[in-house]
Structure 1
Amino acid sequence: MPFPLYETKLAELEVAVFDLETSGLMPSKHRIIQIAVVLFDQGQPTNNANNDWVQLVFPGEEHLPLEDVIVELTGIDTESLRGQPTIDTVLTEFDQLVNERVVSGHNVKRFDLPFIRRAESHTRIDVQSDFYIDTLLLAQKLHPGRPHKLADEGRHYGIDFDEEELHDALADTRLCAQVLAEQIKELADHNVQTFGDMIDWL
């Protein structure tokens, strides 16, 4: 997989853009409570809502109730998680969606992927996460010296979105996929054409 991947043009990559909501900020202590995925092909989100996937995750009673700040931030409350599938089931579905796609998200290197890898260690389910595109890292390199939150990137590219819906995993993922599409176009202006070019450029 690696060598053909490095030679693949960014505009031709098959990508699984994803986002997590969690019960806190520490993978060693907190748990995933929501995962969303938007599939991305030929430099664009698929624009097919049937391909968008979102799932709440029951984190275990020992991780409930959720702190008020998490409920306020995500709109997910404790009772909505009870009765939801556990991470074993959800990570299996996530793995099937990702398959051999490159994964992508905003701040995935420092936040989402550590949570995924912690979940992998608990479930023994191995999701493709070695090859990724972090839209935050791209934003910091493309536009140094300005804010780089996901909403900032959406506004920068003139994307139509409802900021009040953000911090829902699916809303975040849909916006991130649109940001990635714009970044790929902008990277081409820097002669960053392939996945390997992007790694070298970063």
Structure 2
Amino acid sequence: MSREIVLDTETTGFDPKTGDRMIEVGCIEIEDLLPTGRTFHRLIHPERLIPADAIRVHGITDDKVRDAPKFAEIVIDLCDFIGDAPIIAHNAQFDRNFIDHEFGRCGRALFHEDRWIDTLKLAQARFPGMANSLDALCKRYKISLVERSLHGALIDARLLAEVYLELKGGKERRLDLSSSRPISAAAAAHAASGYPLRPRPLEPRGGEAEQAAHEAFLRAILKDWSLWKGYGVEIEAG
């Protein structure tokens, strides 16, 4: 199975070289482009005060991280969770800069650059010239943002996992992995539409006369009856 880790961070600012630090990290494990349910999430004490501008973005205050562990105290758990999997991030250079900085402070070897997959670059290649922020992609793919009033590492990682699924094949990929049982052409077309299948079909509302008229209409205009078999219409050519 192909294992990947979707990662997001929240920080005190934009540049670790000027003293900014990581204050939250969230990871989602996916295998074969499907979430496994395993996550990693930690608040981190940044060993400095959090600026008001940053708090307005993610809502993480000094009080919230007062008793949180320092990065050096969670780095082993983080590395164990990530393992040797590729790391998926949106505008990955930002998150990578902070991960590299914190690893450097701990004296740990950095994740190789080839392990990082940038969904911003994937989106820019697919939608050149368009807005490709995480919010914009969620709206484009109709991924609900109702749970997020502020940025949060684990929430954003969950959203990014859904965006990444869409960028890598979307509904077709979900359809391929949803069941090992063969499905009818009608079910496949319905699933690809994005609407859920009914738990049970609606009862026919037309009478025998209407059904007979409908079958006569189909006989007159269609030559390939097999097209309609997947939709529950059984017609024998006359």
Match of residue 118 from structure 1: 101
**Structure 1 residues 161-180: aligned runs within 5 Å:** 161-162=145-146, 164-180=148-164
| Counterpart code for 2:154 | L
The SS at the match of 2:69 is coil
2-structure distance, mates of 1:73, 1:67:
10
8 Å CA contact 1:102, 1:128 repeated in 2: no
CA-based RMSD: 1.8
2-structure distance, mates of 1:56, 1:68:
18
Hey, which bits of structure 1, 4+ residues long, moved more than 6 A? none
Mark the structure with the bigger radius of gyration: 2
Match of residue 132 from structure 1: 116
**Structure 1 residues 22-37: aligned runs within 5 Å:** 22-28=11-17, 29-37=19-27
2-structure distance, mates of 1:165, 1:52:
21
| Counterpart code for 1:115 | F
Percent of aligned pairs sharing the same letter: 27
166 and 181 in structure 1: CA distance in 2 versus 1, 3 angstrom threshold: farther
Match of residue 5 from structure 2: 16
Q: Which runs of 5+ in 2 are unaligned?
A: 173-238
Aligned residues: 170
| Counterpart code for 1:149 | S
Match of residue 192 from structure 2: none
* Larger displacement relative to structure 2 (125-134 or 144-153): 125-134
* Cα displacement string for residues 112-165 of structure 1 (whole angstroms, at most 9, x for unaligned residues): 001111111100123534312111110011100110110111111121232743
8 Å CA contact 2:148, 2:155 repeated in 1: no
8 Å CA contact 1:165, 1:171 repeated in 2: no
**Structure 1 residues 80-159: aligned runs within 5 Å:** 80-108=64-92, 110-126=93-109, 128-130=111-113, 131-159=115-143
* Larger displacement relative to structure 2 (168-177 or 127-136): 127-136
* Cα displacement string for residues 67-86 of structure 1 (whole angstroms, at most 9, x for unaligned residues): 11111110100111111111
- TM-score normalised by length of structure 2: 0.67
The SS at the match of 2:108 is coil
Deviation of the 1:166 alpha carbon: 4.5
Question: Which gives a bigger RCO, structure 1 or 2 (Cα 8 Å, sep 6+)?
Answer: 1
